[in-house]
Structure 1
Amino acid sequence: MPKKESSILIAGGGSTYTPALVVMLLESLDKLPLRKLKLYDNDEERQKTVAEACKIIIDERAPGVEFSYTTDPEEAFTDVDIVMAQLRVGKYALREQDEKIPFKHGVVGQETCGPGGIAYGLRSLGPIIELVDYMEKYSPDAWMLNYSNPAAIVAEGTRRFRPNSRIINICDMPVCLEDIMARVIGLKDRKDFETSYFGLNHFGWWTKIVDHEGMDLMPKISDHVKRQGYTENTQKGQHKEESWLETMRAAKELHEIEPEFLPNTYLKYYLMADSTVEHANKEYTRADEIIDGREKDVFSECRRITENGTAKDTSFKSNEHASFITDLACALTFNTKERMILITENRGAIANFAYDAMVELPCIVGKDGYEPISMGDIPIFEKGLMEQQIASEKLAVDAWEQGSYLKLWQSLAMNKTVPSIAVAKDILDDLILANKEFWPELK
């Protein structure tokens, strides 16, 4: 019997990640057949540049797949099975402010962690909820797979304001790190082993890694991390810029404070905030690197493809970001019961943690959604850190919902990257000015 053919919408069609995602979907047609692929964005010009190149790629590799792009929500969301959301509200101009404003006050400037992540979260909540509403109106049986950052705050917002929606919030960082773990011990990729993991988005730990015969791989991986963090002697993987390599190296120190587990690299911004700020180039941040790197590279390649009328020699390749969301779409479509790390409401999966917290855990994915795997109790060190972080995230969503200056000040002050309530207030006042077109009015 022929496999079901899906209709997929990429929301945020003008993203620099779109071409790699399109390539990945085309490479996966044997396991996820497509009848239709659509792009949607509210920036018509930006999306057109990407879409015209993608059209050529599709015409050359899979001409049977119907392709279109639009800025009209009804056209985009009608007759869709899977929505892959990858929004960047405010684009890189606002990301630059997310990073540079905290640095001005001696605090970590990062797009998903600390004050920058909170700022980005308040920009993202409304547009993501808008996408969910479009999906429910025009394709109520579809699933939304949300890559849009900051995933923790977006997940809390969708849990609270759209509790019955068919949205799954995901992050590719655990996938990227698991592929590195596999390579440094001589395996092909992350699918050669099974992991146990708990935490919040960008705030978690691996507790167990075994191969398919049950052999414990943690000691070998741990030995590598103790020596050189998550750096590796290969060009494979999607994070190779110096700023990322520095973050990968920081896993050495993060592993020392908790030698029983393996850390997510983003813990650096919370547990090593002082050294992060000290060694950062505060005038040329990660946003600048992307503007001068991936942004230029992707759009110049899109224009080159369109001008030449062919993509047969394109540099666009699939990556971990694309493969993870494609695997998730397959699991939902064909009920594969694959084990994947997702962001989910806790509901007792971590026994000694808040029931309504949005946590990141291994889940079993099938046609009806996903089931979190129980982690039991977690240690007091991790539990205390997570409780502080989840409080900061919930206060941020409170602030968005209530238009409350006080709640947002409390959210910043609660965040472990911020040293005092005075610094939190100074950062907040600067962020309000930068985000006045995107945030609700705060009183």
Structure 2
Amino acid sequence: MKLAVVGGGSTYTPELIDGFARLRDTLPIEELVLVDPAADRLELVSGLARRIFAKQDHAGRITTTTDVDAGVADADAVLLQLRVGGQAARNQDETWPLECGCVGQETTGAGGLAKALRTVPVVLDIAERVRRTNPDAWIIDFTNPVGIVTRALLQAGHKAVGLCNVAIGFQRKFARLLEVEPGQVHLDHVGLNHLSWELGVRLGGPDGENVLPKLLAEHGDAIADDLHLPRKLVDRLGVVPSYYLRYFYAHDEVVRELGTKPSRAAEVAAMEKELLEMYGDPALDEKPELLAKRGGAFYSEAAVDLAASLLGDGGSPVQVVNTYNNGTLPFLADDAVIEVQARVGRDGATPLAVPALDPLYAGLIANVTAYEDLALEAALRGGRDRVFKALLAHPLIGQYDYAEGLTDRLIAHNREHLAWA
């Protein structure tokens, strides 16, 4: 089995490598190709990757290339984990929206739209190269904003599934609180990427006992603290929202906080510099503890599980993924991309049935899906007016003067990445 990781020079990659090494029986990789235009980073990351494989007695071969076509040739699956513009572009996404009194964040709001506009054309170009080189390869998208990027891939006819680590993070957290194995925890996970709720936590499988009320009663303070939301709100909802819902439920509070501290991008850039120095140490043969602060917890385990299911029979039959709605949420179009539990196999992902949603959740899902429709249109066709409409439609913006100011700033800060600007 051959896998390619586009964006393989990312400081995330050793997390992925560690998972590939530990879970080699689930996903038996013979060759892993790390693809990245940054040859200097590739050298550092691949050196550590080979040492991790060697320490854990993994027989797979790790190669590198800066050439996408060469890297994806004959690959059974291609993982996408890119960041167009790097941390510098992310830093802009997290700062200029604050000038208009709006959240600055890399996956939602105006910053999320900027990332989508930069990213979608690049991802589609890579996907076309994969299709020309190996039309049977699966594309696993971990590139944010995952929902919009996955929709772009599916709409263009690619064999693609979107992946996020939010659900597996909740699964592992709840398993620790319940003192059970993670595989025993099934989430009633419903929504969009970075806009989701855990409506139930079931033991043993989709039809198991719902222990969410017990979790909230016994561990509500810890859960609310992790979400940075008041315990009383979580209790009133009776569900566990993704921590990204804080941008919606406490928008103004978050804006005030972000205005008083360095951006997350600045923190990550400093962390990446330190990580790359560590990766260059020939004595280092495991992922460093600092990597846990970088983000992406359990990403490797989710990626292994998904790839194993798409390529064979080694993965879990039911996983949380991003895929076409196809009637699952009746208030959305079939070609909307949702994030829910799905049966995953060689033919792709089929969402499980979802009970009727409270309007509190359905309304926000519908609103953000409408924004994502407009965001994808702007990413594919360009134009100031399309950018403005997408921003105006976003529930975190929604006022024409905000949308006007944000449109001007978005274009000014991203002109080099926008072919039409």
Relative to the length of structure 1, the TM-score reads 0.88
**1:173 partnered with 2:161:** no
How far apart are the structure 2 equivalents of 1:59 and 1:363? Answer: 35
AA at the equivalent of 2:212: M
**1:290 partnered with 2:284:** no
AA at the equivalent of 1:17: Y
**1:223 partnered with 2:197:** no
How far apart are the structure 2 equivalents of 1:118 and 1:224? Answer: 38
Judge conservation of contact 1:146–1:170 (CA < 8 Å) in 2.
yes
Residue matched to 1:20 = 15
Residues 276-287 of structure 1 correspond to what in structure 2 (within 5 A)? 276-287=254-265
In structure 1, the gaps of 5 or more residues are: 1-5, 232-244
User: Closer, same or farther in 2 for the Cα pair 1:353/1:378, shift >3 Å?
Assistant: farther
AA at the equivalent of 1:290: V
Residue matched to 1:122 = 117
**1:148 partnered with 2:143:** yes
AA at the equivalent of 1:280: L
Q: CA deviation at 1:157?
A: 1.7
2:317 pairs with one of 338, 346, 358: 338
2:71 pairs with one of 76, 79, 85: 76
Judge conservation of contact 1:102–1:109 (CA < 8 Å) in 2.
yes
Judge conservation of contact 1:176–1:320 (CA < 8 Å) in 2.
yes
User: Closer, same or farther in 2 for the Cα pair 1:319/1:277, shift >3 Å?
Assistant: closer
Residue matched to 1:237 = none
AA at the equivalent of 2:273: K
Q: CA deviation at 1:226?
A: 3.6
Residue matched to 1:404 = 383
Q: CA deviation at 1:168?
A: 0.7
**1:311 partnered with 2:285:** yes
How far apart are the structure 2 equivalents of 1:249 and 1:32? Answer: 36
**1:201 partnered with 2:179:** no
1:263 pairs with one of 237, 241, 251: 241
How far apart are the structure 1 equivalents of 2:194 and 2:230? Answer: 13
Judge conservation of contact 2:50–2:62 (CA < 8 Å) in 1.
yes
1:186 pairs with one of 168, 179, 184: 179
Q: CA deviation at 1:314?
A: 5.7
Judge conservation of contact 1:10–1:86 (CA < 8 Å) in 2.
yes
**1:299 partnered with 2:294:** no
Q: CA deviation at 1:94?
A: 0.3
**1:420 partnered with 2:415:** no
Residues 311-330 of structure 1 correspond to what in structure 2 (within 5 A)? 311=285, 319-330=297-308
AA at the equivalent of 2:267: E
Residue matched to 1:238 = none
Instruction: Give the percent of matched residue pairs that are identical in Structure 1 and Structure 2.
Output: 26
Judge conservation of contact 1:205–1:264 (CA < 8 Å) in 2.
yes
CA offsets 1:323-344 (integer angstroms, 9 cap, x no match): 1001111112223552111111
1:137 pairs with one of 121, 132, 140: 132
How far apart are the structure 1 equivalents of 2:53 and 2:192? Answer: 37
Secondary structure of 2:209's aligned partner:
coil
Secondary structure of 2:416's aligned partner:
coil
How far apart are the structure 2 equivalents of 1:59 and 1:146? Answer: 27
In structure 2, the gaps of 5 or more residues are: none
Residue matched to 1:236 = none
AA at the equivalent of 1:279: E
Residue matched to 2:82 = 87
Residue matched to 1:368 = 347
Judge conservation of contact 2:77–2:140 (CA < 8 Å) in 1.
yes
Q: CA deviation at 1:354?
A: 2.6
How far apart are the structure 1 equivalents of 2:81 and 2:358? Answer: 34
CA RMSD of aligned residues (A): 2.1
